[in-house]
Amino acid sequence: MSQPPGQLTFVAPRRAKPARHLADLSMAERRAAVAELGEKAFRADQLSRHYFERLTTDPGQMTDLPAASREKLSALLPDLLTPVKELTTDGGTTRKTLWKLFDGALVESVLMRYPDRVTMCVSSQAGCGMNCPFCATGQAGLTRNMSTAEIVEQVVAGARALAAGQVPGGPGRVNNVVFMGMGEPLANYKQVIGAVRRMVDPAPHGLGMSARGITVSTVGLVPAIAKLADEGLPVTLALSLHAPDDELRDTLVPINTRWKVAEVLDAAWAYAAKTKRRVSIEYALIKDINDHEWRADLLGKLIKNKLVHVNLIPLNPTPGSKWTASRPEDERAFVRRLQFHGVPVTVRDTRGREIDGACGQLAAAE
Ligand code: SAH
């Protein structure tokens, strides 16, 4: 299935929903769910600790629960993700997992271990409706939204592998989560916010991560950015800009036909003002398409003196695309132009290209 150029899909096709999971629920909802199963409400706290702190769903390990309760309570911990394929590179410190969901939908997540931290790149939708022509996920269209627990499970799976010492470098923890896998997180707003809450809420409520370590990356759904700013969750906002002018951005990021560069940048500045968080501008450098020095100059003028940081991403190849990464000299000139305007800029060290696990390469095929 492929989408006609420029077509946007906001509403996910109606599909059967995945089974209800502990991670879908707030603590109050978990207590109610446990009571419905005929168990004492405080069992919800115990079960939550097993899942979020000890990272286990195995009733056999829940020795603080009576045997009969374990069986009943395990109804709240259904298996949502089945690993289909695992590919590793960088000596095992980058690993991409292909997951099958209960209805056969496929998604991918990527774990990246650096000397000082571990970042997990997670999916928020199976497929994507935003149709950016340089992104492999966008070409396949939107299959469905993921549930909160399906999103959280990707992080828990990574945390488990790290805790068990399965990733070279010894036992470790997930420090950062980036919503840069498959999907447009702000088009699946409610489930994504639920997942972020589970990630930042302290145990037994959730995983107890720092909101600062979580990055929500968006094509620029302006009303949703405004809403996110009011959640009281100081996550990092990444805006996939890719062009400073509407004419080009209309084609590279089709959502630009709804919300223009000026509008989306205003939304980003409002986000920065409210959260005091530096906004990250993502810009994939595509040879002879968006890497001209005059575009760097225009971008610099638009964003200078703002609470901002530019992340340049050398374009990763995707099947069927004629586009490639910029020449090194053009990349350097682009960086220099932005620096001339005093804009902080880095070039992303792209991991996982060898396993089609880098930005824009997640297409989830078996
Ligand atoms: N839908 C969200 C998150 C997923 S993509 C978004 O667009 O922001 C994560 C980042 O990878 C985005 O900045 C996206 O534009 C970028 N990207 C997509 N395809 C790419 C490619 N082929 N090479 C480099 N970056 C790419």
> What are the DSSP calls for 306-330, one per residue?
SSEEEEEEEPPP-TT----BPPHHH
CB of 316 sitting under 6 A from ligand 1 = yes
Q: How many Å apart are CA 143 and CA 145, to the nearest integer? A: 7
Nearest CA to ligand 1 atom 24: 315
Helix axes 261-275, 222-229, angle to 10 degrees: 10
pLDDT digits (tens, 9 = 90+) for 61-103: 999 999 999 999 999 999 999 999 999 999 999 999 999 999 9
Average pLDDT across the chain, whole number: 94
Q: How many Å apart are CA 221 and CA 56, to the nearest integer? A: 36
Q: Where are the beta strands (DSSP E) in 28-138?
A: 82-89, 94-100, 106-113, 118-121, 125-127
Tell me whether strands 106-113 and 94-100 are parallel, antiparallel or unpaired.
Answer: antiparallel
Range of weakest confidence among 4-8, 159-163, 181-185, 226-230: 4-8
Over residues 150-169, mean pLDDT: 96
**H or E stretch at 165:** none
Q: What is the pLDDT of residue 354?
A: 80
Ligand 1 centroid from CA 323, angstroms: 14
pLDDT of 272 above 90: yes
Q: How many Å apart are CA 89 and CA 107, to the nearest integer? A: 19
Q: What is the pLDDT of residue 82?
A: 97
Per-state percent for the chain, helix, strand, coil, to nearest 5? 40, 20, 45
Q: Which two tokens stand for residue 230?
A: 């009011």
pLDDT digits (tens, 9 = 90+) for 114-141: 999 999 999 999 999 999 999 998 888 9
Residue type, 62: M
Q: What is the pLDDT of residue 2?
A: 65
Q: How confident is the model at residue 283 (pLDDT cuts 50, 70, 90)?
A: very high
pLDDT: which is higher, 228 or 359:
228
Atom of ligand 1 nearest to the CA of 128: 1
Task: Pick from 8, 313, 321, 323 the residue to mutate for probing ligand 1's pocket: most ligand atoms within 8 Å of its CB.
Answer: 313
The pairs formed by 101-106 with CB atoms below 8 angstroms and a separation of 24 or more are: 101/18, 101/126, 101/146, 101/150, 102/18, 102/19, 103/15, 103/16, 103/18, 103/144, 105/143, 105/144, 106/364, 106/365, 106/366
Over residues 276-282, mean pLDDT: 97
pLDDT digits (tens, 9 = 90+) for 165-219: 999 999 999 999 999 999 999 999 999 999 999 999 998 999 999 999 999 999 9
Q: How many Å apart are CA 95 and CA 97, to the nearest integer? A: 7
pLDDT of 365 above 80: no
Catalytically annotated residues: 108, 359
Q: How many Å apart are CA 142 and CA 127, to the nearest integer? A: 4
Q: Which two tokens stand for residue 21?
A: 């999971």
